[in-house]
Structure 1
Amino acid sequence: MFDGLAEATAALANWFDPPRLEQVVEALVPAIIFKPAAPETRRLGDTHIGGVPDVSDEFVWPRPPIPSDPREIAGRANAEMGRELRAHMERDLPYAFIAQVDLQEASTLGEVAEILPSEGRLLFFYDHMTGPWDTGTRAARVIWDTSPAAGLSQARMLSDLAEAAQAELEALADIRHDDEEGTVYGAPQREMKLAATWRLPHPASLDAERLPELRWDASGDESERFREDYEAALVEYHDMYTEEHWRRQQLLGSSEPEQDDPRLDAVVVSKFGVQHLPHELWRENFPRIKAEAETWTLLLQLDISDWMQARFTEGTVYFLIRRSDLEQRRFDEVVAVYQQT
């Protein structure tokens, strides 16, 4: 990731010759990242990850809708996990709170944030238990809160969610590495500041198609060497999996898939009403799915291990939305896609 195109051009010149350098720089994608901020700078309404949101007295902590067929969702997992999923859905627990984004702060970053509202806060929620088996709108909730900052206070976690979190902490006591680790129901609060950046598109992202030599079917020694250099640059500039997982938390921009571009999954569940298409149907419909995917955008990329501050978990959640819905502020249309390697 780079602070600007001039910095990117100078850095990437160490990896690519002039013709390819121009191609790579043109393929860079603007995004907003979360950088750790000093806790003492915190004010109500500021951007943060984990903890609880800052809200008005009228705020109601959201709960996932009760599914019409819990057994069908549970049946997507193995027998043991399916029993856990059914028990979880029967408890009707609230969502876990993920992050709060100060939209006024985002607006100061300029063009990269212009598609977002410029006032209030975005509050992100997710159901970590069912989400991996339930791609779609149910597992995620995004609230655009425009309450005046002067009337905000820290929300109190609902008692049933707090009790579930405590029970999970006790159950995981033997494998926890740190008293500050979170659970699927809640994570430690960390203050963040937003920063604009330019990122190399991940090879599995649709945005990487601007670099034809990254295609799996590109052959020849030159293409192979380019792919090797490109992956080395991804690692060097923190645009691949990094030990500093906070660098993977991202607002807008191009996602860093763990499998395929998650926008493809968003189209499948939205257009076909299924979690996965059979191979033949996927191949037959891929051109249409791909074209539709390009009308979607990443809203938030969540690295679960970093959010939870725990080493015993993995996976990434992508909050995705059609650009037209984002422009119309229809945050109820956000689709959550979970991936893990």
Structure 2
Amino acid sequence: MFENESQARSCAADYFPPHAIDHAMAQLIPAIGIRPVTDDRIGGTRIDGAPDVPPHFEWPRADLSKHPKLAPYDLSPEELPEGPSPLWFLAQIDLAEAHRLGRIADQLPETGRLLFFFDHLAGAYLEGPEAVRVVWDQHDTSELAPANVPKELAERADHLTYPAKPSALFAGVTLPQRGSMCPETEPLFEQMDAGEHPLSEFEEEFDQFCEEDGAFVEPEWRHHQILGVPVPCQSDPRGYIDHATPEDWVNLLCYANVEDGEGEVYFLIRKKDLAVRDFSKVSAVYMQT
């Protein structure tokens, strides 16, 4: 992800002659990005750590101990305990901050925060809603306080409870990824391969441009993404849960594991569910290179 079109244009100059740069810029796709900052605040955007919650908040749990899809995997009783187990907290998104970016946030609720939870261990083997919870918290920030992370998470895998990373949102742009099979971008590559696009003679340069991350102080953060078209490390994550109509799903959040530099979790929601603010049916897909 680029932080803005100007940054993308500057990078494009390293790959394309002047007459082709505008054609490359025409492929930019708006999305919301996340970058690290130094100031943490109650109710603010944050990656990892713990969420800010109201009194009597119930930390999301899931009972995955007897899930049939996990049977073939060698998960120990500590990794997959009996009964409902707490999920790891991955992100807190300040929705008011998102809407200050403009129309790019139109699909999201205007107030409150989205809190994202995921089972780091079992979720790597499950594609769907079982290992994920998304909470839309609408309490005023004056009612919030940092949550206490359940001790069971440290008992399961202490190394997966990462320190808090104060963050900020920005209105960024992404580029299509060859091989992602996203229905929104596949026609571009079909036209390029058929020699029917102005960028056809620059296919190799375009592919290199799409992988550009040299302009970023924190390159691994470029994979955090809200909305837009997925930029997966494999193929379209929406296709893993809905092969027939992946375009019916929204990329609510791509969480990148910047702590280990490996692994992405895609939180996906149907457009119709997002429109009515029903976050109870969010699905997750884990990917890594």
Query: Match of 1:326?
Result: 274
Q: CA RMSD in A?
A: 2.9
TM-aligned CA deviation for residue 158 of structure 1: 1.7
Q: Name the structure 1 match of 2:248.
A: 295
Q: How does 1:98-109 map to 2 (within 5 A)?
A: 98-109=90-101
Matched, 1:250 2:203: no
Q: Which position in structure 2 is the counterpart of 1:263? A: 238
Change (3 A) 1:199 1:59: same
Partner residue in 1 for 2:260: 310
Deviation at 1:261, TM superposition (A): 0.6
Q: Check the 8 A contact 1:203/1:214 in 2, yes or no.
A: no
Relative to 1, partners in 2 of residues 1:60 and 1:104: Cα closer, same or farther, differing over 3 Å?
same
Segments of 5+ residues of structure 1 without an aligned counterpart are 170-182, 269-288
Cα deviation for residue 75 of structure 1 reads 3.0
Aligned partner (choices 70, 75, 98) of residue 71 of structure 2: 75
1:209-259 deviation line (CA, Å, top 9, x unaligned) = 2423577x6589x9885331012212335699x972122111111222122
Which residue of 196, 204, 209 maps to 1:233?
209
User: CA separation of 1:87/1:8 partners in 2, compared to 1, >3 Å: closer, same or farther?
Assistant: closer
d(CA) in 1 for partners of 2:218 and 2:9?
Answer: 25
In the alignment, does 2:7 pair up with 1:15? no
Distance 1:297 1:35, change over 3 A: same
Calculate the TM-score normalised by the size of structure 2.
0.87
Identity among equivalent pairs (%): 36
Whole-angstrom distance in 2 between the partners of 1:51 and 1:11: 33
What is the alpha-carbon distance in structure 2 between the residues aligned to residue 204 and residue 85 of structure 1?
A: 38
Q: Helix, strand or coil: the match of 2:103?
A: helix
Report the equivalent of 1:48: 46
Q: Could you tell me which of 131, 151, 162 is aligned with 1:187? A: 162
Aligned-residue offset at 1:135: 0.6
> CA offsets per residue over residues 172-219 of structure 1, 9 Å max, x none?
xxxxxxxxxxx23x211010011111111222331332423577x658
Shift in CA distance, 260/12, structure 1 to aligned 2, threshold 3 Å: same
Q: Do the aligned partners of residues 232 and 129 (structure 1) sit closer, same or farther apart at CA in structure 2, a change above 3 Å counting?
A: same
**Cα deviation, residue 100, structure 1:** 0.4
The offset of 1:27, in angstroms, is 2.2
Check whether the contact 1:213–1:223 (CA below 8 A) recurs between aligned residues: no
Q: Which runs of 5+ in 2 are unaligned?
A: none
- Mark the CA change 1:104 to 1:223 in structure 2 (over 3 Å): closer, same or farther: closer
The answer as to whether partners of 1:104 and 1:120 remain within 8 angstroms in 2 is yes
Q: Deviations over 1:1-60 (max 9, x none)?
A: 44444554465355345775444323211111111111xx32210111111100000210
2:62, 2:202 → 1: CA distance?
A: 45
Quick one: structure 1 residues 4 and 45, their matched pair in 2 at CA, closer, same or farther if it must change by over 3 Å?
same
Q: Which residue pairs with 2:61 in the alignment?
A: 63
* Paired residue secondary structure (1:123): strand
The CA deviation at 1:91 is 5.3
Distance 1:10 1:310, change over 3 A: closer
Number of matched residues? 286
Q: C-alpha distance in 2, partners of 1:162/1:251?
A: 28
Structure-2 separation of matches of 1:66 and 1:235: 36
Which amino acid in structure 2 is aligned with residue 97 of structure 1? F
> Conserved in 1, the CA contact under 8 Å of 2:230 and 2:236?
yes
Change (3 A) 1:14 1:214: farther
Q: Distance in 2 between matches of 1:85 and 1:162?
A: 14
Residues 223 and 44 of structure 1: CA distance in aligned 2, closer, same or farther (over 3 Å): closer
Structure with greater proportional helix content: 1
Which residue of structure 1 lines up, in the alignment, with residue 35 of structure 2?
Answer: 35
Letter in 2 for 1:147: H
Distance 1:310 1:14 in 2: 30
Determine whether 1:123 maps to 2:115: yes
- Call closer, same or farther: CA 1:117–1:155 in 2, change over 3 Å: same
Higher strand share: 2
Counterpart of 1:132?
A: 124
